[in-house]
């Protein structure tokens, strides 16, 4: 049993905390006091982490949420799980990582194992995290460093922290061994790679693989429609091939903190070496063009103009059954509809509040656009919600399909 501090209590940090607290004493550090207060009251804000489990850990004294950085003193293992977004120029924004390194450097009093789970480009642990922690460490404490990229898919039940194989590598053998010992208390399969850079690159490539394939299938949806062929039937047909094909489904675009963001970390790393990442950049553009394509189709089906028409966007989370709206393509669909003069409302009983607006009751518009289909949505209710419904998910029989 180790004294573990997890920096960042969001999707990744709280999920790991909930597993690790079965075996270790876990402090969940977050710089948002409201999050810390709710967590200590046993209220989880993350799908997949039940409030009852959190309350149980708190009662057992195996978990506490903390906001005071000085509470890091004495931690034996520190896991970094803070955001790694893009800045305005779509370049890596390491400001959250920097502030996590500062908290570690200034507050750890004894040598610890520092593991990075935040997604970033190859070299982040070696060339950024270690020197930044050392810069802020007054007593020049020698810590161990490793990386173990997170693969959690929030809301997913079949693959979780326990049964999803986990990559890891340390800057030293001792760091690798201690990282394996920590995760093997709650993960079934640990996969050691030869360097942190390989683990960091593997994580980026996993999400780039998805981004590029989603873009390819989105482009194929546009092509299929122009040829008068059903994209969904065609994909089902192709998917009968038992090898060499993997089915991706078309959509209004990609969202979340990973697929629209991580490939740009890889592209940045390539650009730093003078190499262009054309596939990544093109895939980005194809996915970003999808909302416009969706609205073009809706407009063409509705007399060639959306001016003054009431449109409801159904499902604004970036994927089914979660409340996460980060980078959601619904935002771009709404903006595009508005730019063409439509009066737009949205309905999402899981998201409830978003951008200062509230989810509206389902129905009451002339046109509906289904962007994300949560499993609580009933087909009959969706179909009855508007005289015309455009389905970007390919799942609603009876609606106009992408
Ligand atoms: N969400 C996912 O599905 C997923 C999957 C794999 C990897 N990742 C990666 O994991 C990392 C974290 O993502 P997330 O989805 O958990 O983010 P998140 O926004 O859900 O949570 C991050 C938390 O960190 C806190 N925070 C930010 N800076 C802090 C600091 N300096 N000190 C303490 N707390 C701080 C925030 O208040 C927030 O609660 C990112 O690098 C992301 O790319 C995310």
For 139-297, where are the E strands, in sequence order? 144-147, 166-170, 190-192
128 lines ligand 1 (CB under 6 A): no
pTM of the model: 0.93
Cβ within 8 Å of residue 193, ≥6 positions away: 167, 168, 169, 199, 202
152-164 as b/e: b if 16+ CB within 10 A: bbbbeeeeebeeb
Sign of CA dihedral 177, 179, 182, 186: negative
- Predicted pLDDT at 315: 98
- Predicted pLDDT at 172: 98
Encoded tokens for 174 = 């001792």
258 is a catalytic site residue: yes
| 86 secondary structure, DSSP code | B
17 lines ligand 1 (CB under 6 A): no
Nearest CA to ligand 1 atom 30: 100
HEC string of 29-55?
ECCCHHHHHHHHCCCCCCCCCCHHHHH
81 lines ligand 1 (CB under 6 A): yes
**How far is the C-alpha of 118 from the C-alpha of 154, rounded, in Å?**
15
**How far is the C-alpha of 347 from the C-alpha of 374, rounded, in Å?**
11
pLDDT string in tens for the chain (402-residue length): 999 999 999 999 999 999 999 999 999 999 999 999 999 999 999 888 999 999 999 999 999 999 999 999 999 999 999 999 999 998 999 999 999 999 999 999 999 999 999 999 999 999 999 999 999 998 889 999 999 999 988 778 899 999 999 999 999 999 999 999 999 999 999 999 999 999 999 999 999 999 999 999 999 999 999 999 999 999 999 999 999 999 999 999 999 989 999 999 999 999 999 999 999 999 999 999 999 999 999 999 999 999 999 999 999 999 999 999 999 999 999 999 999 999 999 999 999 999 999 999 999 999 999 999 999 999 999 999 999 999 999 999 999 999
Distance 80 CA to ligand 1 centre (A): 9
Q: Count other Cβ atoms within 10 Å, centred on residue 359.
A: 17
- Predicted pLDDT at 94: 98
Encoded tokens for 115 = 């593991």
Distance 92 CA to ligand 1 centre (A): 14
Tokens 């991580």 label which residue?
A: 262
Helices (H) and strands (E) in the chain, counts: 12, 15
30 lines ligand 1 (CB under 6 A): yes
132 lines ligand 1 (CB under 6 A): no
- For a pocket test of ligand 1, which of 17, 32, 81 has the largest count of ligand atoms closer than 8 A to its C-beta? 81
Beta pairing, strands 113-116 & 166-170: unpaired
Distance 117 CA to ligand 1 centre (A): 9
Q: What are phi and psi of 96, to 5 degrees?
A: -70, -40
Nearest CA to ligand 1 atom 28: 96
327 lines ligand 1 (CB under 6 A): no
Cβ within 8 Å of residue 392, ≥6 positions away: 250, 251, 252, 294, 369, 370, 371, 402
Distance 81 CA to ligand 1 centre (A): 5
- Predicted pLDDT at 47: 82
- Predicted pLDDT at 153: 84
**How far is the C-alpha of 402 from the C-alpha of 400, rounded, in Å?**
7
**How far is the C-alpha of 138 from the C-alpha of 104, rounded, in Å?**
11
Q: Which atom of ligand 1 is nearest to the CA of 102?
A: 31
Q: Considering 67, 101, 187, 258, which one is annotated as catalytic?
A: 258
């Amino acid at each position: 049993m180790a004294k573990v501090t997890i920096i960042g209590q969001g999707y990744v940090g709280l999920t790991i905390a909930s597993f690790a607290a079965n075996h270790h004493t876990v402090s969940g550090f977050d710089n948002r006091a409201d999050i810390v207060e709710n967590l200590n009251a046993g209220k989880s804000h993350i799908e997949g982490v039940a409030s009852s489990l959190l309350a149980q850990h708190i009662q057992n004294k195996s978990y506490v949420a903390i906001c005071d950085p000085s509470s890091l003193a004495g931690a034996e293992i520190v896991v970094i799980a803070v955001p790694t977004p893009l800045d305005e120029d779509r370049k890596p924004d390491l400001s959250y990582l920097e502030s996590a390194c500062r908290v570690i450097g200034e507050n750890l009093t004894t040598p610890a194992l520092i593991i990075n789970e935040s997604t970033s480009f190859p070299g982040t642990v070696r060339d950024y995290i270690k020197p930044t922690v050392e810069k802020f460490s007054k007593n020049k404490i020698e810590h161990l460093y490793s990386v173990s990229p997170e693969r959690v898919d929030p809301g997913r039940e079949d693959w979780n922290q326990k049964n999803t194989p986990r990559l890891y590598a340390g800057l030293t053998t001792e760091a690798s061994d201690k990282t394996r010992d920590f995760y093997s208390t709650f993960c079934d399969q640990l996969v050691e790679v030869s360097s942190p850079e390989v683990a960091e690159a593997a994580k980026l490539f996993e999400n780039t693989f998805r981004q590029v394939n989603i873009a390819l299938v989105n482009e194929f949806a546009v092509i299929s429609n122009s040829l008068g062929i059903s994209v969904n039937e065609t994909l089902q047909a192709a998917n009968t091939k038992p090898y060499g094909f993997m089915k991706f489904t078309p959509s209004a675009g990609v969202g979340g903190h990973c697929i629209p963001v991580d490939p740009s970390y890889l592209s940045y790393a390539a650009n730093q070496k003078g190499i262009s990442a054309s596939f990544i950049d093109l895939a980005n553009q194809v996915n970003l063009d999808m909302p416009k394509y969706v609205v073009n189709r809706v407009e063409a089906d509705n007399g060639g103009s959306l001016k003054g028409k009431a449109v409801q966007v159904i499902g604004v989370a970036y994927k089914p059954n979660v409340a996460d709206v980060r980078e959601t393509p619904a935002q771009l669909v709404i903006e595009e509809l508005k730019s063409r003069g439509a009066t737009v409302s949205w309905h999402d009983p899981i998201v409830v509040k978003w951008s200062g607006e509230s989810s509206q009751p389902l129905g009451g518009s002339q046109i509906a656009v289904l962007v994300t289909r949560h499993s609580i949505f009933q087909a009959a209710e969706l179909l009855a919600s508007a005289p015309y419904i455009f389905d970007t998910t390919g799942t609603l029989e009876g609606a106009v399909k992408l």
